[in-house]
């Protein structure tokens, strides 16, 4: 029997393992974070069948301060002073104190999202192996509002949302292809739930070969462990408004766990990284000219049309 939470599907074994993990209580002398402990092991729904779970963590905001000051204890300074130091470290990109904290996630995600995610090579990753195990019959099918045409101006972006018959046809193709290729995958494996042959007279294809037939919207899972500095780099790219929706939605849920884990660091990150903008020397020169009252247009600005458009977007001007 399966349990559905916010569209996410957990089988009985997964639900039992999560319940057992959350029921266990351990005493420790290590620093813990009550807000993160509250959601530890819990599956946070993402997309239609995916999830993010915090499995383990090390350190907190105080660990960053302690590493920066190379002090012996915790809580020797006031919270305001700790927040000020963390904001200074973030503002001036002093990254090593943030490397003192680590976090481990269990993530269930479509294969095409995983292939984009794995480009961040600064984490330890262990993925579910389709060489040894059989993948579940679960596929990511986008909601209609996320079906968009290719952008005419950005090769990596989306344009207008598809509607009506066009959207319905795309959804039919995605769903039909995923189901058909999985049926063929299962047929080639020739295995039942126990691993025994369904047809005793026919040998099954090796799992490591049969998996090549699956579509990229099939779900996989992995454990993903990283330090706080590299997590912030991941979030600065993938929680950005320009990131692809299917990976951005995971980053946004992870951003919530960041706020629970290291709230002072998260606040500084939102101010100086995710909510900030970087200007080139040429862009900054244009801003200074504007502040001096000089009317500046793109042709005499020294900026390309694309740079000019980006700068105007940052300044909120058309």
Please pick, among 238, 248, 273, 289, the residue that the annotation labels catalytic: 238
> What is the per-residue burial (b if ≥16 Cβ within 10 Å, else e) of 40-67?
bbebbbbbbbbbbbbeebebbbbbbbbb
Q: Cα separation of 13 and 5, whole Å?
A: 15
Q: Cα separation of 42 and 22, whole Å?
A: 7
Non-local (6+) Cβ contacts of 19 within 8 A are: none
Q: Cα separation of 111 and 185, whole Å?
A: 16
Q: Cα separation of 10 and 286, whole Å?
A: 54
Alpha helix (H) residue ranges in 95-203: 111-117, 164-189
Structure token pair of residue 225: 């462990």
> What is the per-residue burial (b if ≥16 Cβ within 10 Å, else e) of 104-136?
bbbbbbbbbbbeebeebeebeeeeeebeeeebb
Catalytic status, residue 238: yes
Active site residues: 238
């Amino acid at each position: 029997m399966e349990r559905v939470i916010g569209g996410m599907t957990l089988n009985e074994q997964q639900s039992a393992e999560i319940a057992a993990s959350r029921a266990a209580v351990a005493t420790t002398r290590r620093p813990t974070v009550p807000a993160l402990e509250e959601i530890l092991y819990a599956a946070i729904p993402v997309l239609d069948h995916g999830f993010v779970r915090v499995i383990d963590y090390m350190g907190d905001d105080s660990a960053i301060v302690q590493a920066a000051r190379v002090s012996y204890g915790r809580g020797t300074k006031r919270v305001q002073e700790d927040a000020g130091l963390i904001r200074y470290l973030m503002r001036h990109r002093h990254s090593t104190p943030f490397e003192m904290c680590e976090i481990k996630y269990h993530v269930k995600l479509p294969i095409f999202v995983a292939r984009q995610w794995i480009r961040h090579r600064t984490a330890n990753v262990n993925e579910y192996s389709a060489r040894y195990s059989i993948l579940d019959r679960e596929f990511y099918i986008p909601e209609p509002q996320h079906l968009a045409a290719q952008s005419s101006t950005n090769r990596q972006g989306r344009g207008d949302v598809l509607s009506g018959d066009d959207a319905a046809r795309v959804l039919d193709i995605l769903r039909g292809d995923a189901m058909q290729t999985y049926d063929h995958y299962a047929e080639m494996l020739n295995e039942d739930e126990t691993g025994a042959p369904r047809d005793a007279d026919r040998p099954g294809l090796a799992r490591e070969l049969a998996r090549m037939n699956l579509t990229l919207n099939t779900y996989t899972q992995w454990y993903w462990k990283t330090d706080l500095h590299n997590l912030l780099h991941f979030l600065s790219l993938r929680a950005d408004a320009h990131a692809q929706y299917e990976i951005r939605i995971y980053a946004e849920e992870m951003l919530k766990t960041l706020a629970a884990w290291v709230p002072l660091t998260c606040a500084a990150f939102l101010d100086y990284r995710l909510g900030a903008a970087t200007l080139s020397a040429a862009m900054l020169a244009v801003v200074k000219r504007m502040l001096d009252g000089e009317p500046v247009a793109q042709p005499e600005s020294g900026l390309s049309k694309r740079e000019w458009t980006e700068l105007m977007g940052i300044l909120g001007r058309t």
